[in-house]
Structure 1
Amino acid sequence: MTKGTFFLFLLALVEVTASSKNDTSNREKREAVLIRSKRRWIMSTIDLEENRPGPYPIEVTQLFNDKKEGNSVKFRLQGDGVTREPFGLFSINENTGVVFVHRPIDREINPIFHMDFDVLDRQTGKELDKTLSFNVEIKDVNDNRPEFPLETIRITVQENTPEGILHGAIQAHDKDQVDTPNSQFTMRLVSQEPALPKISLKDIPGTPKIKQLVFTGCFDYDIAKTYEILVEVKDKGTPAMSSTGTVFLDIRDANTHPPEFNSTTYNTEVKEMESNNEILRIGVTDKDTPNTAASRAVFSILKGNEDRNYKIETDPKTNEGVLSVIKGKNSGKTEITELEIAVENEEKLFQCVNGKALPTGSTPQPNSVKVAVKVIGENDPPQFKKTTEVIYRNENGDPGDVLFVPEVKDEDSDLSKIRYELVQDPAKWVSVDPTTGKITTVQKMDRESPFIKNGTYTVVVQAIDGGKHRDLFLV
């Protein structure tokens, strides 16, 4: 019976001592199994610790081959660290197969090296066997400190931020091998200045390398404008390595001071029918940062403006309240209107008392002040009940005939002090009593007179009080 033949070769690789006569304690035995396949020898990975202390060169391992008989073969090494960058890192003794490393290796730069090992006939240089491939994997040691991306971190925090999470996270990283104690670390807050409000670090689920800043209490811009926080990050390697970073919290002023009026009362005056005019400027004082929403004033009229005669606006340059009359008031006499004006800021008021923020709704009501507006009544002219009166009379009537007694009203004057005058009487036919306004004929009227127009003679009388008058047409 014909049988196929299968050969299995087990070759041992033994690392010999480093070529240092004075150091025999660094001997390390490594074994790897070589299995012949149809194409090549395959060798398991060789481990080499990073940044090993010298002196160099240091023996890594020794390679053997079953083709070697006496001194008839030589060995050749190619690949990473030999014929590819970084050049000159590894070499092999072509006679013995001993592999050397010539300088320290940083695993964070070169974590693994792939190399090919060949056996050549010493005389002809012909390859006697298939290429053997193997890897040198650099074993991590804890030679990197965990670090923050920046030595100092600046975070801006609004003064009125409610206690809890701050809008700022702290992240660190470690260059050592991932998922090992060398790259795993803890973070803690070492110190803070000032000490209040209390700031701490909080874990973020699923992101162990990032911590969230949190605080309890409230910030007070008047007490501290900047906080300095020292944070330490420390890995779990042996020995452990650590570093620190500084976080600066820059507090931005919020509205913690209500605006206050510069006076307890204000007085102004306006003419009765005056409109669209500025009548008063009201100044305020605010201790918050100027030209911010925390200090910009917002005025409102709480009482006394039910008829919407007035408005108040803020002068953006001076932060004063500008009170204007927008609709005249016809009262007929001088009177006092009392307005109640309030002031607050664009931003809601926030107050920190004994390290605790006052809850929403418990802050005081806006400051208010009384403004007395004197409305000066104008002297309106007397009003005739009828401005035109038609009287029928025959011509050539006797003088002394009472033609008409006008009725007038005047809300802002004494009726007994009203005077009456003739304004138009071209033929001099009538007279007017200056006190009562009674109109009486003083001559006979002639229908053929040239002063008669279309059968009508027109007399004009005016009523006067304090210089203003109103005309009555008597026809």
Structure 2
Amino acid sequence: MWNQFFLLEEYTGSDYQYVGKLHSDQDRGDGSLKYILSGDGAGDLFIINENTGDIQATKRLDREEKPVYILRAQAINRRTGRPVEPESEFIIKIHDINDNEPIFTKDVYTATVPEMSDVGIIKTALLNMDRENREQYQVVIQAKDMGGQMGGLSGTTTVNITLTDVNDNPPRFPQSTYQFKTPESSPPGTPIGRIKASDADTGENAEIEYSITEGEGLDMFDVITDQETQEGVITVKKLLDFEKKKVYTLKVEASNPHVEPRFLYLGPFKDAATVRIMVEDVDEPPVFSKLAYILQIREDAQINTTIGSVTAQDPDAARNPVKYSVDRHTDMDRIFNIDSGNGSIFTSKLLDRETLLWHNITVIATEINNPKQSSRVPLYIKVLDVNDNAPEFAEFYETFVCEKAKADQLIQTLRAIDKDDPYSGHQFSFSLAPEAASGSNFTIHDNKDNTAGILTRKNGYNRHEMSTYLLPVVISDNDYPVQSSTGTVTVRVCACDHHGNMQSCHAEALVHPTGLSTGALIAILLCIVTLLVTVVLFAALRRQRKKEPLIISKEDIRDNIVSYNDEGGGEEDTQAFDIGTLRNPEAIEDSKLRRDIVPEALFLPRRTPAARDNTDVRDFINQRLKENDTDPTAPPYDSLATYAYEGTGSVANSLSSLESVTTDGDQDYDYLSDWGPRFKKLADMYGGLDSDKDS
């Protein structure tokens, strides 16, 4: 029974204090065994005689420092070094001696306890056991029978007690004042510094919330909680300005979000600290007095007219001087300029509101001492309207009047437009030009709503006497200064049906004395034209066979003969079949008057509308004939256009009815002898001859 030894504390003897003896029943006393000691204090506080197993304490021990030492003993064979028994554990307990006098906290204690209180129950010995002071307790319980009398037996057990945490400690700042610095250019959200309050609790009881409760920078700064470190992070909330305020003082509060009501009697579970923030100066660019400028100027302003001005200042304490300039990328035409010293905006060129209403440019302000510091501001310039444009017709007006029209009949409504934009709106007036007002066959009625009507002034018109009228109409505005223009309306006299629908606008030829109908005359005219063309083609073919030039000398040139002495490539030359190549492109748009006739009235050339669906062939041909008779752009009657153009290379050879002659021999061209029957047949197709006349 050597697994437990006892030793008195505070031993003061001169020799080592004997503890006890270890002995193995394998030891025969011949010195073959060796005892080894290990564990708490082995070799230092406690030594063992390896031959006898005696254990001694080398130093004075204090039970209050360490009451129990746990050691291990083993016996091994000296020769083989192998253990003869398993390693055994034993303890050395230090017996207490009365070496500490008790000290009471009070001179007199008064306590009461109810009688008949139960025993045998473990209770807390203190009213306020604090986990923060000691978290774990170990209690040894001993139970004795026989009421603790001599000869009784006892047993012991160990109870480990752990105290769980409750939120009974508020957060505390380790210091009462904090101080940080930040440049004035720090954008919102920039962290400035961190503060931290300590809390002796653990877990969620140690969680802390930070808030700014009062101070000059209550709306300029913010504080957030770092959930990992439980630190309060001070951040910028709004843009700072060193020139306006250099120092801010804040009161930051740290509090527990989870508070147990039963501990509120201990006081508020929060703490506060003062935070001073120093704003550092930064060199800033100039600042304009406005975010944007809007100016106005009349469009008739002269060059170098001042429109307005912009102002900018250096916000820094140095107040460096500023110069101004126009960003030419926004004013590439250099219409505006600026005084670099005072920021006055003036014109460099004339303006036109109708060309550009708004001018959007950018003005730059730059510090003279530090050109890198510059800022920009948009400048919007509106050009105000001036009545500098005359009203004009909204479209080109060309109308007609029926021959059987009545007086005061409306034939056309006129509308006008004006590029200007007066404040009160457009107010146009219409009237006939003074030179046409007297004796005119038409009148102008102003409707007072920016429209006017052309009315007939008499009953009936004769297109044979006058086929076209030109009405000069004066249009004026009601702005200052008054602007006016004259527009011409073309009125044609036309034949109309009983519904007033236009049928023909050209004078018809007089009836021939022979009594032939109009259709017969047209048929005869077409036959004559065809005969002339055939003769011309025949003559041209004969001259081509003889390889003679169309124009032998300059003396043979006539003013009204157009010759095309060119030979194409037959079907291989696609241009040979394009009649458009034979036309003079200037002839279609040429507005020159004919020289061989005197026109009744001056009018502009126009496109003839297509024939109506209900117009028969005779009326259509008749209309075309009249149009060509009165068209000043048509060639004169004695004009001759020769088209001596024949292609080569066709696999079908010549398709001409005249046939191609390869020899110099004459050919019989007496094919015109049968034109009489053909003439009559063609005339019958287009209306026939008069039934009461012989022809």
Higher helix residue share: 2
Higher RCO (CA < 8 A, seq sep 6+):
1
Structure with larger Rg: 2
